Amino acid sequence: MKKPVRKKLITWSVIAVVVLAIVALVVVNNINARKAANATLQTQVLEKGDLVAIVGATGTVRANQTATLLWQTNGRIEEINAGVGDEVDFNEVLASLAESSLSQSIILAQSDLVTAQRNLDDLLNSNSAMAQAQLNLANAQENYNKVRWNAVYANQARETNENTINSAKARVVIAQDAVEKAEDEYNRWGEAADDNPQKAAALSSLSNAKKELAEAQLALDHYTNTPDAEEVSISQGEIALAKAQLEDAQREWERLKNGPDPADIAAAKARVAAIEATINLAKITAPFSGIITSSSGMIGDLVNPNSEAFRIDDLSHMFVEVDIPEVDINRIQVGQKVTLTFDAIASTEYQGKVTEVAKIGTSSGGAVNFKVTIEVLNPDEQVMPGMTAAVNIIVSDVKNVLTVPNRAVRLVDGKRVVYLLENGVAVKVEIEIGSSSDTLSEIISGDIKEGDVIILNPSTDFTSMMTGGPGF
């Protein structure tokens, strides 16, 4: 009856030995795994330093302005005033065609321009016309008053009492004095231009004074003279003519007194511009100041419309245009510093700045890019339009900050983490990063400090064995 109990004890002993052996084997394997992991770990001591974050791209150099100038009409080249490398000014004539080779419409336009310009000048110099119209009106009024007095009082008896005549004489004397003063004032402006406002005002005052004198003299004549029958007859015919002349003068004054019609001026200017445009078909002018970078044709050559004459570039400012991927575009801002190098210029780095960032992207091949314009701040004669440029846009430049190599950062459950090595154990630490470059990132928060040892190549399997926690 006791033999079965002994047999059970032996069985359990065997099982315990086996279990202990398995546990010992696991421990040994873990130790060996740790040793193996430690042997392959790459670590680095965290330090503070400077961080320059850049966005790189390549682009092509362009001038500030570029224009290809084409002939606009048929003709034979008569003059060439500029060649490749020459600096030219805005609106400078670079080349022209012989007049004898031009179409009739262009030749006739030169004579039409004289008339059109004269009409425009007349409208613009309206002060002189206004003054003349006012003088004509005053003279017409004076003449009409004279013949009207004769017609109205020809058959009426004259008052001859001494008081009336003396009063009329006094009126004439006063009016004469006013005319003399007005003449002196007008003569004071004798050297001034006809459209001078002060001269025009003086002429108006003189006209009014003469009008008053004429009326005063007519009144005096009325009281001292009796027109004969022939004079009365003549005056009846003169009054109709004088009235018509006065009405004409009045209409002209009404037309001019407020200055020229703006619509008339605009039409005259448009006419001049249209004629000038026709004449300018026979010549090439610089649309802006710059340098001639290409020239075609020689004196005597026949040209056709749209045949190339020159290329002009404004090299006072040089720019590089690059395409930036949409993932980086929000890091780019106007004013950011840029470093540039050129394939054609060895061992020289140039400085630049961002001047424009496109607000709308363009899609090509499934990728969306935004155009960014960079001005080269220190170009020299080696920098030429069309060159390929490598640019590094400095999106941030921070000093003395705690940085971490990008290769050490992992994304776990949507959060950025790094692993520190503490007493041979990997410890996961959550962090937030700021500025980043191709190799480093700024640490702006997290339970981490200068001098900590960070694991550069954390392994998921290795970390599980060391911590018993989840992998990377």
Domain boundary residue, one of 236, 263, 290: 263
Residue 25 within any structural domain of the chain:
no
**Quick one: tokens of 424?**
């041979």
22 is a domain residue: no
Output the pLDDT for position 341.
94
Structural domain includes residue 252: yes
Residues 238 and 371 in one domain: no
Average pLDDT over residues 94-109: 82
The confidence band for 135, taking pLDDT boundaries of 50, 70 and 90, is confident
Give the CATH number for residue 431.
2.40.30.170
Specify whether the CB–CB gap between 441 and 406 falls below 8 A: yes
- Are both 370 and 470 inside the same structural domain? yes
**Is it the case that residue 82 has pLDDT exceeding 80?**
yes
Same domain, 141 and 231: yes
Last residue in a domain, options 238, 263, 288: 263
The answer on 326 and 415 residing in a single domain is yes
Stretch (H or E) spanning 390: strand 388-405
**Is residue 372 located within the same domain as residue 259?**
no
Compute and round to an integer the Cα radius of gyration of the chain: 50
Q: What is the mean pLDDT of residues 343-365?
A: 92
Q: Are residues 46 and 164 in the same domain?
A: no
3-state secondary structure of 323: strand
Q: Are residues 127 and 43 in the same domain?
A: no
**Calpha distance 37→60 (Å, rounded):** 50
Asked whether residue 15 is domain-assigned, the answer is no
Looking at residue 381, the DSSP 8-state letter turns out to be: T
* Banded pLDDT at 464 (limits 50, 70, 90): very low
Q: Is residue 34 part of a domain?
A: no
In a domain, 21, yes or no: no
Q: Kindly state the average pLDDT of the residues 335-361.
A: 94
176 and 324 part of one domain: no
C-alpha–C-alpha distance, residues 11 and 3, integer Å: 13
Q: Is 253 found in the same domain as 396?
A: no
**324 & 447 share domain:** yes
Q: Select from 244, 263, 282 the last residue of a domain.
A: 263
In a shared domain, residues 241 and 351: no
The total domain count for the chain is: 2
**pLDDT confidence of residue 366:** 86
Residue 281 lies in a domain: no
Q: Which has the closest alpha carbon to 444: 455, 435, 457, 452?
A: 435
**Six-digit token string for 124:** 């613009």
pLDDT given for residue 429 in this prediction:
92
Q: Please, are residues 320 and 352 in contact by the beta-carbon 8 Å criterion?
A: yes
Domain that holds residue 158: 121-263
pLDDT at 382 over 70: yes
369 in a structural domain: yes
